[in-house]
């Protein structure tokens, strides 16, 4: 090895998926793949997840959803929730992508495109439970449901799901959000069959607040082994990715590795502990193209440094690093540049 690499453990991803699935206790896992599968790489992640039995995938936008569809074939559910252009809607309808719909305007456009193409739009309507992050307002909900039902009767739409997003900031706010969500589900159920996919929770709430789960849980972070910042370790879940770099030079007894701020390593991480053959050592300097680490006995070129990974001898995980700089582990992973090769190791 001469360059830094992000090593990916398929075994760990499969184990995490199994741990999350078992924790979900019958609620279906939708594996969230946004930001190139949280920096792990879409193709590798989807192929591994399919081997682990995942049959439902969440992709932020239609473009990503189409990539997932090409990888998983026609059967799996692929859900894309970003509001899309008409051209993207057309592609989504032709490829059987489930669309997350958070405005009445978007619903109208989807129905119009389904009518024009003679296709059936698979729709998950989103209720705004108070986050104001896209979602039909409760006062507009009956109208949106009526539109969806009319389109259903006309053969242009299938109401597959009802969903929303919660802040996971406080239990009370999440409980209030769930109450609004359940009202919306009831209102829909009063006008026709209740949609099968009811989804409100992401990683943390799905894991810690089972009473908030619907029939589907949209989970990214915990499947990749990224625990919540300031949150506890998770039983059966370990980081999938390990960022390693060989020592490129030794300078005044210190190790220099060729990963720097321009590769996505935040320069504010100075002071964090990284793994070395001699145990954890302090990251002393981060420059645009390299970083420098406290030395160790026997330090030599080619020694391997673990910047983050499954924590062993006091080294860091992506979340431990993130906690130093008040962010989340997802950000540490998704900032890593394409120059860092993604390398499957098992
Ligand atoms: C990112 C995202 C998720 C997954 O969140 P995690 O905390 O990574 O599990 C779920 N739903 C939506 C809408 C998201 O944007």
- Per-residue pLDDT of 241-275, as tens digits, reads 999 999 999 999 999 999 999 999 999 999 999 99
- How far is the first Cα of the chain from the last one, in angstroms, to the nearest whole number? 16
Q: What is the pLDDT of residues 65-97, one digit of tens each?
A: 999 999 999 999 999 999 999 999 999 999 999
pLDDT reported for residue 130: 87
Q: Are 162 and 148 in contact (CB under 8 A)?
A: no
pLDDT reported for residue 168: 86
- Mapped to the 3 state alphabet, what secondary structure does 287-344 carry? CCCCEEECCCCCCCCCCEEEEECCCCCCCCCHHHHHHHCCCCHHHHHHCCCCCCEEEE
In the reported structure, the alpha carbon of residue 185 is separated from the centroid of ligand 1 by a whole-number distance in angstroms of 21
Q: What is the pLDDT of residues 115-144, one digit of tens each?
A: 999 999 999 999 999 888 889 999 999 999
pTM of the complete model:
0.96
pLDDT reported for residue 240: 98
Binning pLDDT at 50, 70 and 90, where does residue 44 land?
very high
Q: How far apart are CA 241 and CA 327, in angstroms?
A: 18
pLDDT reading at 8 higher than 90: yes
pLDDT reading at 311 higher than 80: no
Using a 6 Å CB cutoff, which residues line ligand 1?
A: 32, 34, 81, 165, 202-203, 218-221
With the most atoms of ligand 1 within 8 angstroms of its CB, the residue from 40, 58, 100, 174 to mutate is 58
Q: What is the pLDDT of residues 217-243, one digit of tens each?
A: 999 999 999 999 999 999 999 999 999
pLDDT reported for residue 1: 56
pLDDT reported for residue 132: 80
Question: DSSP letters along 139-195, please?
Answer: GGHHHHHHHHHHHHHTTSEEEEEEE-----S-HHHHHHHHHHHHHHHHHHHTTSPPP
H or E stretch at 284: strand 279-286
Q: What is the pLDDT of residues 183-200, one digit of tens each?
A: 999 999 999 999 999 999
Tell me the pLDDT of the chain averaged across its residues.
96
Ramachandran bin of 136, using left for φ above 0, alpha for ψ from -120 to 50, beta for the remaining angles: beta
pLDDT reported for residue 2: 73
Q: How far apart are CA 293 and CA 273, in angstroms?
A: 9
In the reported structure, the alpha carbon of residue 193 is separated from the centroid of ligand 1 by a whole-number distance in angstroms of 27
């Amino acid at each position: 090895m001469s360059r830094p690499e992000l090593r990916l453990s398929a075994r760990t991803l499969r184990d995490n998926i199994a741990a999350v699935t078992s924790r979900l206790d019958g609620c279906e896992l939708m594996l969230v793949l946004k930001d190139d599968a949280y920096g792990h790489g879409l193709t590798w992640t989807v192929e591994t997840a399919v081997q682990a039995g995942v049959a439902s995938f969440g992709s932020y936008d239609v473009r990503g959803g189409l990539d997932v569809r090409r990888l998983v074939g026609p059967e799996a559910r692929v859900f894309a929730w970003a509001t899309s252009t008409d051209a993207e809607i057309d592609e989504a309808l032709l490829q059987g992508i489930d669309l997350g719909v958070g405005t009445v305007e978007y619903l109208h456009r989807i129905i119009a495109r389904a009518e024009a193409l003679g296709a059936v739009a698979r729709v998950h309507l989103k209720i705004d439970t108070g986050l104001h992050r896209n979602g039909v307002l409760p006062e507009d909900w009956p109208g949106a449901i009526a539109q969806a039902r009319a389109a259903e009767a006309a053969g242009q739409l299938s109401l597959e799901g009802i969903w929303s997003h919660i802040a996971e900031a406080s239990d009370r706010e999440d409980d209030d959000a769930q109450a609004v969500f359940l009202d919306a589900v009831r209102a829909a159920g009063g006008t026709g069959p209740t949609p099968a996919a009811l989804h409100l929770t992401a990683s943390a709430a799905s894991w810690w607040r089972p009473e908030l789960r619907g029939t589907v849980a949209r989970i990214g972070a915990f499947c990749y082994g990224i625990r919540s910042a300031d949150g506890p370790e998770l039983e059966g879940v370990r980081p999938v990715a390990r960022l390693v770099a060989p020592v490129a030079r030794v300078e005044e007894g210190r190790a220099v590795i060729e990963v720097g701020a321009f590769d996505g390593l935040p320069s504010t991480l100075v002071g964090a502990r990284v793994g070395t053959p001699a145990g954890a050592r302090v990251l002393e300097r981060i420059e645009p193209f390299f970083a420098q680490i406290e030395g160790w006995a026997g330090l030599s070129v080619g020694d391997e440094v673990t910047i983050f990974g499954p924590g062993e001898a006091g080294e860091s995980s992506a979340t431990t690093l993130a906690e130093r700089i008040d962010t989340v582990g997802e950000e540490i992973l998704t900032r890593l540049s394409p120059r860092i090769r993604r390398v499957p190791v098992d």
